[in-house]
Structure 1
Amino acid sequence: MRIWKALTFDTHIDNNFTVIKSLLAPTNLGEDVCDVCIKQHGGCLASFTEQLLSIKLNRSQMDAIESVISAVQCGHVNLMKLIWGPPGTGKTKTLSALLWVLARLKCRTLTCAPTNVSVIGVCTRFLKKMKNFSEIIDENGLPFSFGDILLFGSRSNMDITEDLQEVYLDFRVDELAECFSSSSGWNYRIASMVSFFEDSVSRYDMLLEDDGKIDPVCFLDFIKKQFDATAIALKRCVMSLWVHLPGRCFSHDSVINISMLLNMLEKFSTLLCKADLTDESLKRGLGCLSTVNSVCVKSISSLEKELDGARSTCLKLLKDLLHSLNLPTGVDKNWVKNYCIRNATLLFCTTSSSYHLHDMNIAPLDVLIVDEAAQVRECELVISLRLHLLKHVVLVGDDCQLSAMVKSKVCKEAGFGTSLFGRLIALKVEKHLLNIPYRMNPCISLFPNAQFYERKILDGSSVLSPSYNKDYTCLPFGSYTFINVTDGREDKEGTGNSRRNMVEVAIVLHLIHTIFKCHS
């Protein structure tokens, strides 16, 4: 149904044909950037060179990234870029590096893949690779913020691991809805912490009056309990905001204040645990000197001065944050969902799920990246291609591997099983080849290199090293062996659509056992 609506002028779909028209105009294909912008943005990756070199990108990978970034920075040409990646040539690494640069340039980018499994895969690998570019701890001592990264799709169809929870939309909405609540959100938590520092003594006095003759808790234990409950809730709320909101939601001063506040709260907690701290010292340290009978007798100790200083600093930071944090309060989950999508820089979903973006009032997307593009049906990709004011499209894949699939014989005969990636290659559109594989033995790569990749593949240094090559002459087969399994039968595996042939499994296990036996 989504495909049908995308192919028609349905009111739910944005009538954006900018990219599609550029596909229909042969003169635009292959033009990455105009002459004017080449002069203006020459060496567009200069500021990112150090980080990109740290993950050891080869020349073909760097060229692919630079060609995309050059076009993105050009406002005169709509890019349609094909990145052709044979097995093991680092498509994931290249894509991750490209996404990182686009995020740094604040280019809103939608990354799609044909299935939930593949989109989760590309998102997971991107998050892992991103650790090579950015420190996990921010320069202000705060953990890494995932607010600019958003993965969305059906929770029932996605296997969301713990590593992905921080970027998954449904989880983020639950976290932020609580943080934006008027009764338990950020505003309430900060105000509660202010009230603790200003009114803790009067609260204790009220407790004594209410308890009457019952043995009351001592002042120190009362303060510890109140502080722990209030501070823990505040820190959890602040950290959720920091992790789940994009950096643009916080001013520079707010970031510094948050970092300082967390440190000062930790310091105050440590001071409360000092062995020599008494009820009287604590009251003096909380600035309640006039209520302590011995104020004229004893001088203020260093511990009391530290407590008073930490309290005063916390109060100032808390009040500053109350005024500087421009964040919503009292909003529902649907509003939070739209807020997250509207503010994210990098979005991940299946091509089909991108349909939901047509119903949202979001800022225009600059770039659409499609991973495993050779497996995405052309008609399905139209859903993403028609997104509001989309400017550039990057298709990453390999038409020599699995192609787009349709179950219906009628649809297949009508050409609905064609991918845009495959069609453009058939039309001789220029493609950027990632030409160095890093995991295929040279003896094995000879055949696909000659038959499918025009002998343009160069073996990587890793597969040419002596430690990588092993002698398998004792085995009863060469680099390639085709085994015809005549007695096998395919069965469904579990409740999914995957099928398995246990006879083939038995043969593979036997071969593996033979290899290990040969080299044991």
Structure 2
Amino acid sequence: MEGAFTHLGNHLISDSASAINAGDDLSTIDADEAALDREYQNRNLNQPPQARPRRRRARDNDDESDIFPDEDDDADSLVSHQINGQNGHHHHQDEEHEIELPTHACAYCGIHNESSVAKCLSCNKWFCSARGNTSSSHIINHLVRARHKEVQLHPASALGDTVLECYNCGTKNVFLLGFIPAKSDTVVVLLCRQPCAAMPSSKDMNWDTSRWQPLIEDRSFLPWLVGPPTDQEQMRARHLPPQMIAKLEELWKDNQQATIADLEKGAGVDDEPAPVLLRYDDAYQYQNVFGPLVKIEADYDRKLKESQSQDGLIVRWDFALNNKHLASFVLPKLEMGDVKLAVGDEMRLRYTGELRPHWEGVGYVIKIPNNQSDEVTIELRSKGDHKSVPTECTHNFSADYVWKATSFDRMQHAMKTFAIDEMSVSGYIFHRLLGHEVAAAPMKTQLPRKFSVPGLPELNSSQINAVKSVLQKPLSLIQGPPGTGKTVTSATIIYHLAKLNGGQVLVCAPSNVAVDQLCERIHRTGLKTVRVTAKSREDVESPVGFLSLHEQVRMNDTNVELNKLNQLKAELGELSSQDEKKYKQLVRNAEREILSNADVICCTCVGAGDPRLAKLKFRTVLIDESTQSAEPECMIPLVLGCKQVVLVGDHQQLGPVIMNKQAAKAGLNQSLFERLVILGCAPIRLQVQYRMHPCLSEFPSNMFYEGSLQNGVTMHQRLRRDVDFPWPVADSPMMFWSNLGNEEISASGTSYLNRTEAQNVE
């Protein structure tokens, strides 16, 4: 029989290594184990046949993020304890007894029953299966909060010092692991949900893959893995409120030896930052409130990304068209951590093998995983001798993120500029941004006879009203519910602003995708449009690549000297120091000329802080998807001299993504658009939607938009006559389908999944 444990009756029986080799079954079990086993049965807890998960070599696994909400329990005063389990205090009725806790005691509560604890292999701390005052067991609570995933059981537990891992591929991500009973034996094996339990080859093995069940159920390990402590143990345990647990986890990020005494003293735990306000006395108060929040978010982002190092990578080498080295590899953690890799991000690749001297190189991400490939590709910077790149090696590489403070520095600089530079914004915009009630000076604008513009669809009445209103106001908010034509309306507004005002228009959005979409629409109108991208994204394919600044410089045939140097650089790969200096100066001059002649300049909000735009002044600024930008991010384009601002978005949809909970709680997750709405700046709402079947638009219209949404498409235009599907109501392609599948925590720990629902949808 394979497996380290046998199933006799209703008990889990532990085999020694020698017994396994001899094929013998040990049939001894103590009274405590039997009592626990009966308790499991009484609670109807799942108890499979016994098995020791097969062990394989260690592999990297992925970080987790917190999906469990923090309860708002009051933080009780706590007696000092050594958090790593060395010593502590237990409370029994009215007496306190100082005892020496074993090293495997739960770092939260001190419970040390060997059958009820497990060790986190990432930090070597022990945690138990008790819940205390939290909604999850202590071990799961820690794994999610700390973004750890590897677990080992106690040597004295029924399963021994087992490291939980997939028998087939060796992954140790416990959020991916489940068990499958063998078809012919009374043993179980541990397999990961994806890909091992789902791959077709598994169906031919001696495992019943249809019976795969996760090891974590109801935010706790199954009791045959980590058993629940007794009621007496829980009564004697230390009780940490959820707030204290959250602060303790934050302390451990900087000091693994932190104690509850440190927590009570406030050591390493920052005071709550000042919350954002609706109104500010002056720009200095504004900066003093938002500055610390941006710093908190920056520090959190840096720690998060710097912890994402991954080892044991296999690299595939290639050359780009510009003769730079391309390194492609699979990042197992990419889809499972909080950090999302984006094109243009900077990564450091290291060779740590023995075949040649250690090497490291830095490059920019030019490709991320898609439906065709799971690989990440980075383009290495040109640096020194190309022969130094270890292209002959494919194994033993590691990669980590190179954190850049650029976006946060630009936010801080924008707020400082707002405070000290009187010319950064007009007086009216200055006071409105601070929340002051000031009367707007009427704008003398000659409205066009026709509002629809060449190259774009005709406008409906609500879109025309929005355009007309924006052209006459120094500050406008446009609310665009789903499918109401925000992009077309924005492009039309930009066209008229450029034609009527005669100055350049700066167009921004928080994401490159949103900027590209709007840039393409603006180009259709015939305006001279320039797309400014970060230098790290210049080699990234884009639907509007021909409009990018660097591409327009390259395609400029009038500068003969620059073209010669470009050709020489392409042939040789690099220039002499003298030629390189001359080349850079010629590029700067060409960029300056193209930017000064543009009607519209498009970039991300952070990109508006690019030094190439520093000397330009933009009278008019439009920010698309502004409700997805943190307020300091919106300030970057605004402080370039704007006198007329247009914010486009929808505060009923997704807001800014703030990673740090403390900063989000203080209000950094509230957009400038939303704050202005609260202050009474009424948005102009686009009211005709062209996306959904009328039966689908009815709910969001009534729920979020006071029933104001109108349908620009008929039900017949949104029915697929070629698809024969038995809708409950024939003319309404909509239904609620109840699925009874169990929810499971996803591999990332950030959400839930339901495999039954997924199979039904497929």
Tell me the TM-score normalised to structure 1 length: 0.55
Offset at residue 2 of structure 1 (A): 1.5
Amino acid at match of 1:70: Q
Tell me: CA distance 1:466–1:419, structure 2 relative to 1, closer, same or farther (3 Å).
closer
Offset at residue 361 of structure 1 (A): 2.3
User: Is 2:634 the partner of 1:381?
Assistant: yes
Q: Which residue of 1 aligns with 2:413?
A: 5
Q: Which residue of 1 aligns with 2:592?
A: 338
Tell me: CA distance 1:484–1:23, structure 2 relative to 1, closer, same or farther (3 Å).
farther
Amino acid at match of 2:506: L
Whole-angstrom CA distance in 2 between matches of 1:95 and 1:419: 19
SS in 1 for 2:433: helix
Whole-angstrom CA distance in 2 between matches of 1:429 and 1:337: 38
Whole-angstrom CA distance in 1 between matches of 2:673 and 2:683: 10
Superposition map of 1:86-485 within 5 A: 86-105=481-500, 106-127=502-523, 130=524, 133=525, 148-157=528-537, 160-161=540-541, 163-176=543-556, 179-182=558-561, 332-356=586-610, 360-362=614-616, 364-387=617-640, 389-460=641-712, 462-465=713-716, 468=719, 472-473=727-728, 478-480=734-736
SS in 2 for 1:455: coil
Residues 478, 646 of structure 2: 8 Å contact kept: yes
Q: Deviations over 1:17-67 (max 9, x none)?
A: 4222233364447x5835xx37xx2xx121x44646972210110111122
Whole-angstrom CA distance in 1 between matches of 2:430 and 2:544: 33
Q: Which residue of 2 aligns with 1:265?
A: none
Residues 475, 645 of structure 2: 8 Å contact kept: yes
* Stretch of structure 1 that moved more, 410-419 or 84-93: 410-419
Tell me: CA distance 1:184–1:381, structure 2 relative to 1, closer, same or farther (3 Å).
closer
Tell me: CA distance 1:338–1:66, structure 2 relative to 1, closer, same or farther (3 Å).
same
Tell me: CA distance 1:163–1:446, structure 2 relative to 1, closer, same or farther (3 Å).
closer
Q: Deviations over 1:375-409 (max 9, x none)?
A: 1101111112211x211110101101100121112
Whole-angstrom CA distance in 2 between matches of 1:378 and 1:355: 15
Tell me: CA distance 1:358–1:477, structure 2 relative to 1, closer, same or farther (3 Å).
closer
Whole-angstrom CA distance in 2 between matches of 1:13 and 1:27: 21
SS in 2 for 1:418: coil
Tell me: CA distance 1:482–1:451, structure 2 relative to 1, closer, same or farther (3 Å).
farther
Tell me: CA distance 1:66–1:380, structure 2 relative to 1, closer, same or farther (3 Å).
same
SS in 2 for 1:347: strand
Structure 2: runs of 5 or more not aligned: 1-408, 565-582
Residues 656, 669 of structure 2: 8 Å contact kept: yes
Offset at residue 338 of structure 1 (A): 2.1
Residues 83, 394 of structure 1: 8 Å contact kept: yes
Residues 441, 469 of structure 1: 8 Å contact kept: no
Tell me: CA distance 1:402–1:464, structure 2 relative to 1, closer, same or farther (3 Å).
same
Structure 1: runs of 5 or more not aligned: 72-78, 135-145, 186-328, 493-498, 514-520
Q: Deviations over 1:435-490 (max 9, x none)?
A: 01111222222221111101111122x13446648772179995455868744454
SS in 2 for 1:332: helix
Q: Deviations over 1:128-184 (max 9, x none)?
A: xx2xx55xxxxxxxxxxx7x21111225347854641221011122223x5313486
For residue 45 of structure 1, the aligned residue among 438, 448, 454 is 448
SS in 2 for 1:415: helix
For residue 63 of structure 1, the aligned residue among 465, 469, 489 is 465
Tell me the TM-score normalised to structure 2 length: 0.39
SS in 2 for 1:394: strand
Whole-angstrom CA distance in 2 between matches of 1:169 and 1:417: 32
* Stretch of structure 1 that moved more, 99-108 or 394-403: 99-108
Tell me: CA distance 1:94–1:49, structure 2 relative to 1, closer, same or farther (3 Å).
closer
Whole-angstrom CA distance in 2 between matches of 1:122 and 1:351: 14
Residues 741, 756 of structure 2: 8 Å contact kept: no
Tell me: CA distance 1:110–1:14, structure 2 relative to 1, closer, same or farther (3 Å).
farther
Q: Deviations over 1:345-386 (max 9, x none)?
A: 211111111112586322x21211111111110111111221
Q: Deviations over 1:190-244 (max 9, x none)?
A: xxxxxxxxxxxxxxxxxxxxxxxxxxxxxxxxxxxxxxxxxxxxxxxxxxxxxxx
Higher relative contact order (CA 8 A, sep 6+): 1
Tell me: CA distance 1:80–1:427, structure 2 relative to 1, closer, same or farther (3 Å).
same
SS in 2 for 1:92: helix
Amino acid at match of 2:636: I
Whole-angstrom CA distance in 2 between matches of 1:375 and 1:392: 20
Whole-angstrom CA distance in 2 between matches of 1:183 and 1:404: 42
Kindly indicate which of the two structures has a greater share of residues assigned to strand. 2
Amino acid at match of 2:494: L
Q: Deviations over 1:80-100 (max 9, x none)?
A: 100000000111111122222
SS in 1 for 2:464: helix
The number of residues matched between the two structures is 328
Tell me: CA distance 1:510–1:439, structure 2 relative to 1, closer, same or farther (3 Å).
same
SS in 2 for 1:451: helix
Amino acid at match of 2:600: L
Q: Which residue of 2 aligns with 1:20?
A: 430
Tell me: CA distance 1:108–1:457, structure 2 relative to 1, closer, same or farther (3 Å).
same
SS in 2 for 1:118: helix
